[in-house]
Amino acid sequence: MATKKTMNIKKLLGKYGNYQILPRLIEIYPDQKQSIVGYTKILKALRKIKPEPSDLTILPSKWNTGGRGKKGEVFAIGFCKWQEWLGMDIETKTHGLTVLCYCLWEMSWSGFSQQQIQGKMRSIKAMVRDVEKLAKEKKGV
């Protein structure tokens, strides 16, 4: 019986060079041409990062790449740390280069560094806390 080969971002980064990835990314997402320097930085950083094991599986798509947990629950993974992205298996029949581009786009929608992404996440969490506080205050009125 044949063993199923798993695909993940780290393996795809080893298979494809920037000279292949960046043109395909621009072909899929033409509006990202002005962000090519940011994507180049991400690719350089990703190649240096050690993957962390993850229970999530990447479900790639052009506009909404997500993750699925062991019990089948679906998650938004845009705010996951890059180490975790690199440790996730990818479930798809789509060509690896295209999948890698989908993942890069999703990974960078809120910034081109992990610090920018985590800053955005802290900002969103603060807004949620503010809304929850206002809701509690309103109930008390």
Angle at which helix 96-107 crosses helix 18-28, to 10 degrees, equals 70
Q: pLDDT above 90 covers what percent of the chain?
A: 45
Tell me which of 68 and 134 has the higher pLDDT: 68
Per-residue confidence (pLDDT) for residue 30, from 0 to 100: 96
Separation of alpha carbons 17 and 1, rounded Å: 32
In this model, does residue 137 exceed pLDDT 60? yes
pLDDT over threshold 70, residue 32: yes
CA 110 to chain centre: 10
pLDDT in the model for residue 13: 95
The DSSP letter of residue 75 is E
Across 6-31, average pLDDT: 95
CB atoms within 10 A of CB 80: 22
